[in-house]
Amino acid sequence: MVTIKDVAKRANVSITTVSRVINETEHSVSPETRERVLRAIQELGFYPNALARGLHRNETRTIGLIIPDISNPYYPSIVRGVEDEAQAQGYTIILANTYRSKEKITKYLNVFREKRVDGIIFTGGGVARDAADENFFEQSNIAAVVIGKSRNAKLPSVQVNNVQAAREACEYLIQKGHKKIATITGPGNSITAVDRLEGYYQALKHNGIEIREELIIQGNFEFDSGYQAVDVLLEKDKDITAIFAHNDMMAIGAMKALAEKGLRVPDDIAIIGFDNIPLSLYVTPGLSTVTVPVYEMGRTSMKILADLLAKVEVSRITTLPTKLTLRQSC
């Protein structure tokens, strides 16, 4: 392996001079000497140690990105948004997938601290909450941004108004004449699920419709939980006419279960989802859903983190708009 010493020897300069050229320090190096060092680096195929350079500058130009579930089609678009903006700003991403495990969150946070990342982006307020339980932010002094609603007032967040968006989705069903509207929620410890359930409550209350707890089935944001929820719902009330699912994956799972039971969507039961993942456009019938600007959320979170690292003042909460995307399922 070529070392900095080899470069210094080839360029006929000191190791300190090579280091100054590589790290672009404030110490002056003549243009001729700089050119000689750069030529030696190229000829020898020398690759500077990125970690060593980062420690010298007190930065590593790396960002930790924590997501709860890479198998969920919602998250890859966020990752792409973060990565595109990070690349544009000269940062590299280290991706950590936790599958909503607090143990894994703690493990990855320790890895990020060891790798001396410049900042962390948490996808999901629950992830940031679990990190806060470990007093991570107070101990590490690492800049962080949350994608989603954060309960840590010190962390800037990029989010959508889940309460309002869920209410609009349910009120659309009500406008279509539905009164027996069931909902399949996300897990109880999800901030997102709590807010979307609140939107469901508000829509029903505002329109004078009784809230029936038996028509509220807890899922886990995965296909299977939406599929299984249909059996439970129909056992409790076979006359429900609409389902609001807290994400598209559960909505699509519910659509499959209904089809297997010979029930037609939307003729027998209307369904509306949330997120507008790519698959929602291609199922039959097309899934009506709430469009969340996931790519832009990722990109915006990275912009805010870069500003934080540059000591630029940022807004504590950045809210991006959602919109109701209507297809054939309701």
The DSSP code sequence of 191-239 is HHHHHHHHHHHHHHHHTTPPP-GGGEEE--SSHHHHHHHHHHHHHH-TT
- pLDDT above 90 covers a percentage of the chain that reads 68
Residue 52 has a pLDDT of 56
184 bridge partner residues: 217, 245
- Nearest CA to 317 out of 66, 136, 145 is that of 145
Instruction: Work out the mean pLDDT of the chain and round it to a whole number.
Output: 91
Residue 26: is it exposed, middle or buried by C-beta count within 10 angstroms (0-12/13-18/19+)?
exposed
Pairing of strands 157-159, 181-185: unpaired
Q: How confident is the model at residue 128 (pLDDT cuts 50, 70, 90)?
A: low
Higher pLDDT, 116 or 217: 217
pLDDT digits (tens, 9 = 90+) for 217-239: 999 999 999 999 999 999 999 99
- pLDDT above 70 covers a percentage of the chain that reads 93
Residue 180: is it exposed, middle or buried by C-beta count within 10 angstroms (0-12/13-18/19+)?
middle
- Token pair 């309701």 is found at 330
Q: Does the pLDDT value for residue 202 go beyond 60?
A: yes
- Could you give all domains of the chain from N- to C-terminal order, each with its CATH number? 4-57 (1.10.260.40), 62-160+294-322 (3.40.50.2300), 162-291 (3.40.50.2300)
CA distance 118 to 107: 17
Residue 102 has a pLDDT of 85
Higher pLDDT, 46 or 238: 238
Query: b vs e for 234-255, b when ≥16 Cβ sit within 10 Å of the residue's Cβ?
Result: beeeeebbbbbbbbbbbbbbbb
CA distance 134 to 105: 10
Q: Does the pLDDT value for residue 129 go beyond 70?
A: no
Q: Does the pLDDT value for residue 193 go beyond 80?
A: yes
159 bridge partner residues: 319
Q: How confident is the model at residue 81 (pLDDT cuts 50, 70, 90)?
A: very high
Higher pLDDT, 101 or 262: 262
Q: Does the pLDDT value for residue 308 go beyond 90?
A: yes
Residue 51 has a pLDDT of 53
Q: How many CB atoms lie within 10 A of CB 176?
A: 13
Q: Does the pLDDT value for residue 57 go beyond 80?
A: no
Higher pLDDT, 141 or 243: 243
- Global pTM exceeds 0.75: yes
Lowest average pLDDT, out of 118-132, 269-283, 296-310, goes to 118-132
